[in-house]
Amino acid sequence: MKILFLALIFVSFTYGEVLWHYHIDDSVYHHVKLMNYDHTVVSTEFNPPPSAQYFNDRSGTPLWFISAKDQGDFSHDATGSLFGNKLALAGFYKDISNSTHVYATLEVYTIQGDSTTAPTPDWTWKLEGATSFLSYHSVKMTMNDEEVFLFVTKMDSFSPQMVYHAQIYIFDAATGEIKFQYDAPSGTATNDIEISLGGEIAMFNDEEQFIVVDVRQNKIMWQEDFEEGDINPFSVSKDGRVIAHGTSQLNVLTRVGNNYKLAYTVRNESELLCATAVSADSEVVVAVWINNAYNQKRIEVYTSWSPIPIHTHTLPVHEGKFEDWVVDVKLTDDGQYALIGSWGQSNSTAPTVILIERGAGIVYTYTTPGSVFDIDIIDDPENGTVYFCSAGKEVHANEWGMGGDVYCFLHQKK
């Protein structure tokens, strides 16, 4: 395994700069999480090892990595409690010698600052069966200081026909005890999930439905049909009060008692909705659109109570061999900064990392050599800075090839 390391430290960060960059040759970085102002954890997809790496953000030094425990096609999702010392690693595996043997694992670790010794799991949980999961996309999680929230798609039977359903587990982060379990109706699966930070509200896409549930009360709070094959990105505020989702239109939902109601809709027949985000205080909603030619992005910022955008940012048209796509948008807790990550173009004509400041517009862009698959952002008000990061593939998402890159950036507020 060949790994290249590059750390760049700049004296001035007036508009934003690369703090450091790390490259790996034979895998793809798929998830990234800023655990605090000093550390970043990333996880890989395909071709182990490693499956997770832990970096010092001041120097870009990789402190340790955790190797995949089983070989075969797999995906990992790594996350951590933002200012705590817990790290969770979830993985999906397919047995090389028996393709029907697929299973998921969840491991939780306690992190010891800048220790260069990889930690051992505090506890491990495994779910398997003859054919346990529908696809590697069906493992995702989040966590806070007390709990870990894990989503899986459980295969109930494979023959004579596939029967499966979505499951959500809430674990005690310290002990691994299952505190709650939600079982969706049979036939429900998903490619994505979002969970509010308190773990009460979870939402996911079935093949033709958008479903919002109260996990702890085992209750469906919102159910909405959409056309099979449509993309339906969604997001939720940390307290679960506001949800934003849609396909060719943006729907903003607000919680009223034990249910949700539609606050407003923004219709847009000429563009596709790629990604949404809601600020922690439920005040700000961001929607990112792309045109039908997949070569121009548009970002709109709204309040959670009005369909009239307070800011609109349209990027230039870029031509290239492949389609662009926005993978995610994330906000600082106060909604002042929005970070957008995208696939870009193989000829590097389109930025893949975009930072927007409310009221100032686009304050920083960066074009990675390949595509971005995940991003994260954190505000440091005490030092007047914003940290953000990206993880992805060395070449374009639609281009064959391996290699992964993770970047850490810093923006100095004016």
Q: Is residue 123 part of a domain?
A: yes
Which pLDDT belongs to residue 189? 65
Q: What is the pLDDT of residues 363-386, one digit of tens each?
A: 999 999 999 999 999 998 888 999
- Give the CA angle between residues 288, 292, 296 to the nearest 5°: 50
Q: Is residue 225 part of a domain?
A: no
Q: Is residue 109 part of a domain?
A: yes
- Bridge partners of 125, per DSSP, are 106
Instruction: Please check the confidence at residue 159 and state whether its pLDDT lies above 70.
Output: no
Instruction: Please check the confidence at residue 132 and state whether its pLDDT lies above 50.
Output: no
Q: Is residue 270 part of a domain?
A: no
pTM of the model: 0.88
Q: Is residue 108 part of a domain?
A: yes
> Which residue in 204, 183, 184, 202 sits closest to 192, CA to CA?
204
Q: Is residue 77 part of a domain?
A: yes
Q: What is the pLDDT of residues 75-121, one digit of tens each?
A: 566 777 656 688 888 776 666 666 666 677 888 888 887 888 888 89
Q: Which two tokens stand for residue 202?
A: 């979870």
Q: What is the pLDDT of residues 292-337, one digit of tens each?
A: 999 999 999 999 999 999 999 999 998 888 899 999 999 998 899 9
Poorest-pLDDT segment among 45-59, 62-76, 260-274? 62-76
Mean predicted lDDT score pLDDT of the chain: 82
Q: Is residue 168 part of a domain?
A: yes
Domain range enclosing 183: 60-199
The DSSP bridge pattern shows strands 353-357 and 361-366 to be antiparallel
Q: Is residue 281 part of a domain?
A: no
Q: Is 361 left (phi over 0), alpha (psi -120 to 50) or beta?
A: left
Report, as an integer, the average pLDDT of 135-148. 67
Number of domains in the chain: 1
Instruction: Please check the confidence at residue 71 and state whether its pLDDT lies above 60.
Output: no
Query: Does the N-terminal peptide bond of residue 160 adopt cis geometry, omega within 30 degrees of 0?
Result: yes
Is-contact 361 311, C-beta < 8 A? yes
Which pLDDT belongs to residue 203? 85
Instruction: Please check the confidence at residue 72 and state whether its pLDDT lies above 60.
Output: no
- Give the CA angle between residues 337, 200, 289 to the nearest 5°: 35
Which pLDDT belongs to residue 346? 79
